[in-house]
Structure 1
Amino acid sequence: MAADGPSQLLVIADFDYTLTPYHTPTGEHAHSCHGIISGSGFLGHEFQAKANALFQQFYPIEISPLLTQDEKEPHMVQWWERSHKIMVDYGLHAHHIKDAVANADITFRDGFQPLFASLAKANVPTLIFSAGLADVIQAVMNKNWGASFWTPNVHVISNVMEFDPTTGRLLGFQEKLIHCHNKNTAVVRDTPFWDECHSRRNVVLLGDSVGDVNMTQGLDGKEVLRIGFLNAHIEERMAEYLTLYDVVIVNDGTLHFAHLVVDLISRQSDDVAAP
């Protein structure tokens, strides 16, 4: 992988609890993209109660070691569809996104900025592949890093909201529902990102869930380095994660290892260019 250099490298990263930490600096459970909306309070207590009830119902299924991915998938579809429906039912507006993000304490794992700076410098196609909300991800990035974050090598594929152009009210979501167990290249094939990346031989994958390891499914013949972040129930889930990921990082660890890997691979182009 290192010998091929950055011209053959592709990075695919989950967003929630992979690029962002699982805990806030004060030790509380950090918000996901969906959690930023439900936690904002803009849609009222009844909406918050329904969103929390969905979490309590479906999250244990998502992390259960006793169920297969195929057994979990229909439950995840229900969870995402019902979560999106209540956003529509309770009148989410476009301005709520910016306001919710402005009020949310969203941080990134240590090492995020130098990692993405290195990826931009080496022009490595980088996909933020999320089952969250594309509109929230964009607002979070703009809040924390500004327009300079959006270098040409960075792409986001996630659930995209559709708003009424006159009222700004949420109408629904674009057709392809992305949940935590269907993140694979079938969702990516009809995008400009696929044209840019599918011929690259090597992939660094960053994820925090069992489903995230499938983000390279469909990229046949690739060399994949899987870096996993195990955020909760560490003792119970470590054995499973060690079978899925090549490297497992716990306790809200940093992105420094991923950065070291990217720098090692990128150095190959510098070595070739040197006289």
Structure 2
Amino acid sequence: MTEADRGTKSTEILIGDPERFKRLMEEFRIAGPSRIAAIVDYDGTISPLEMNSWDIPGLSNLDWPTIAGKLRRSAKIGEISEDEFWLQSISSLNEKGFGNSESTFEDVVVHLENACLLIREGVHNLFQTCSQLGRFIIYSAGIKAVIEPHVAKISQIADISESDIPSVVSNELDGSNLITISGKTGTTLLHELDKQGVNLNGISHFVLIGDSIGDARMSDGLQAEAVIKIGLLSTAKAVDPSIKASYIDTFDIVIVSDDSIEDANTLIEQFFDS
């Protein structure tokens, strides 16, 4: 049974199991903000869907249209194995000389500094709300060194104190400046990134916000009493019944929207209700 409702503006809210979702929300309210961590995907979640191709550098869009175009024509993330997609991206970028060329990395930094900061409507409000939780973590399939400045810039605009700026968990450069998937061993998937650098003491409940099916696994490997999974689905994908059904089956609540994240923020604000 699916519950459909209207969110802010023209968004549509879909809940596969309304009773279960209601119980989860109540459990989070009882737990209280200090025991809750928000884990928010960056690519296509904080940045607008289908609008971050060249402005927000990531593994598959570091200013090399040929590489990115080839990968995007062959597959979209969420439609093939995440391992396959990102390992192809990493291999392509390293072969291009990213890892062995200091000037290449500097070019990326310059590109980042000059890029237009594209974010969804309501992101600043979301940052303000999540910064009041026990922990706030940003996940990105890009590279930490180029994502962190954007996160810091958003936090500054949102008037978040330096101590409350969210932690960024992403891919990093190894000792030889080759791109590596942090914490990746064997067949471990992308979203089981190494979270050892984030202090999660006292955190028992996790709320996840992401735009791809894989984002529902961002809490994998963590000790969690409860998890709420919020999925953002583009209107273009929502017209496909199979994709829509897959999102409803995967996420506790699905928000159909291309440009706003306000409804996700409204949900998280309810955790502060006594």
What TM-score comes out, normalization by structure 1 length? 0.73
| 1:83 pairs with 2:92 | yes
Moved over 6 A (4+): 177-180
Counterpart amino acid of 2:149? A
Give per-residue Cα distances to partners, 1:69-102, cap 9 Å, x unaligned.
xxx2552243232233125268353432332123
Distance apart, 1:218 and its partner CA: 2.4
In structure 1, the residue matched to 2:116 is 105
Matches within 5 A, 1:227-238: 227-231=230-234, 232-236=236-240, 237-238=243-244
In structure 2, the residue matched to 1:266 is 272
In structure 1, the residue matched to 2:218 is 215
In structure 1, the residue matched to 2:7 is none
CA distance in 2, matches of 1:204, 1:53: 34
| 1:8 pairs with 2:8 | no
Q: Secondary structure at the match of 1:19?
A: coil
Matches within 5 A, 1:182-261: 182-184=190-192, 187-188=194-195, 190-191=196-197, 193=198, 196-197=199-200, 199-231=202-234, 232-236=236-240, 237-261=243-267
Matches within 5 A, 1:67-216: 72-85=81-94, 86-88=96-98, 91=101, 92-120=103-131, 122-146=132-156, 149=160, 151-153=162-164, 154-161=166-173, 171-174=177-180, 176=182, 181-184=189-192, 187-188=194-195, 190-191=196-197, 193=198, 196-197=199-200, 199-216=202-219
- Identity, in percent, stands at 21
Counterpart amino acid of 1:7? S
CA distance in 2, matches of 1:5, 1:63: 32
Per the alignment, do residues 73 and 254 of structure 1 end up closer, same or farther by CA in structure 2, a change over 3 Å counting? closer
Segments of 5+ residues of structure 1 without an aligned counterpart are 40-46, 165-170, 269-275
Distance apart, 1:29 and its partner CA: 5.8
Per the alignment, do residues 141 and 63 of structure 1 end up closer, same or farther by CA in structure 2, a change over 3 Å counting? closer
Counterpart amino acid of 2:67? K
Counterpart amino acid of 1:183? H
Q: Secondary structure at the match of 2:162?
A: coil
Contact kept in structure 1, 2:206 and 2:227, CA below 8 Å: yes
Counterpart amino acid of 1:124? G
Distance apart, 1:49 and its partner CA: 1.7
CA distance in 2, matches of 1:35, 1:176: 13
CA distance in 2, matches of 1:77, 1:29: 16
RMSD: 3.2
Contact kept in structure 2, 1:97 and 1:135, CA below 8 Å: no
Contact kept in structure 1, 2:230 and 2:254, CA below 8 Å: yes
Segments of 5+ residues of structure 2 without an aligned counterpart are 1-27
Counterpart amino acid of 1:222? E
CA distance in 2, matches of 1:246, 1:109: 21
Distance apart, 1:7 and its partner CA: 1.4
Q: Secondary structure at the match of 2:169?
A: strand
Greater helix percent: which structure? 1
Contact kept in structure 2, 1:118 and 1:262, CA below 8 Å: yes
Per the alignment, do residues 198 and 254 of structure 1 end up closer, same or farther by CA in structure 2, a change over 3 Å counting? farther
Aligned residues: 238
